[in-house]
Amino acid sequence: MGRAAPSPPRHPAAGIHVLADDDPRWARGPVEQAAAACEGGASVVQLRTKFATDRQTLEWARSIRTITLRAGVHFVVNDRFDLALAADADGVHLGQGDLPPSRLPRAALERLRVGFSTHDLDQAMAAGSMKELDYVAFGPIFGTQSKDSSYSARGTDALAEVARAVSPLPLVAIGGINAENLPDIVRAGAAGAAVISAVTDAPDLSAATRELCEVHEKILQQVGANA
């Protein structure tokens, strides 16, 4: 009997994305959050800053880059490709109000993986045709209290529709995701799930991340077995 073919490498967008966030309501800062997320097995750490200066953001980003390199975790800087490049991050995640992916400099496109947030089917379909993107994000799925959003909860039916629309690009879901509703996200076709308060507001950030990762892996196995 021949050996089974090796499994293909997992896309960097797959798995649990923990947003290291600088909102002052959290008991721990972004670097501590990132370290705990890595310890808990997160696939991706995203640095999201809405209150810090560029100087502070870059300082945090460089510290997190050191931590994620040691842990083998993908590191993404939100909104700012220039700070992502300066910190030697793996990727940049852009929103609807940021520089369009098509306007990123060639140096950024050559060095960074690019993710893009969408909030409705039209935005997602437009993103699906962007050759610069490595993955698409969609939400809020269940609503969110961790960030300001003018969008209502989209739900898992919309998530499934968007997953089909952007395929073969991986889809990352965000908005109100926790260990209880994560299985619904995976079953709807999302490759990844991005979380903020499910980790940053937990008493034990590493344990919260670990639980999310374990739930994600368990549901992936069940979905694969039923395929």
Q: What residues have CB less than 8 Å from 186, skipping those under 6 apart?
A: 193, 216, 219, 220, 223
Handedness of CA 171, 128, 20, 72 (dihedral sign): positive
pLDDT, tens digit, 9 for 90 and up, residues 185-227? 999 999 999 999 999 999 999 999 999 999 999 999 888 766 6
Fold of 15-206: TIM Barrel (3.20.20)
What's the pLDDT score for residue 4? 39
Reported as a pLDDT band with limits 50, 70 and 90, residue 135 is very high
CB 72 within 8 A of CB 43: no
- Note the pLDDT of residue 11: 81
Q: How is residue 216 written in tokens?
A: 């994600």
Q: Please tell me the distance from the alpha carbon of residue 194 to that of residue 202, in angstroms, as a whole number.
A: 15
Q: Residue with structure tokens 């950030």?
A: 205
Domain chopping of the chain, boundaries:
15-206
Shortest CA distance to 81 belongs to which of 45, 55, 127, 115?
A: 115
pTM: 0.92
Residues in contact with 34: Cβ distance below 8 Å, sequence separation at least 6, in sequence order: 18, 20, 45, 47, 63, 64, 67, 68
Phi, psi (rounded to 5 degrees) for 117: -85, 140
Between CA 18 and CA 33 the distance in angstroms is: 8
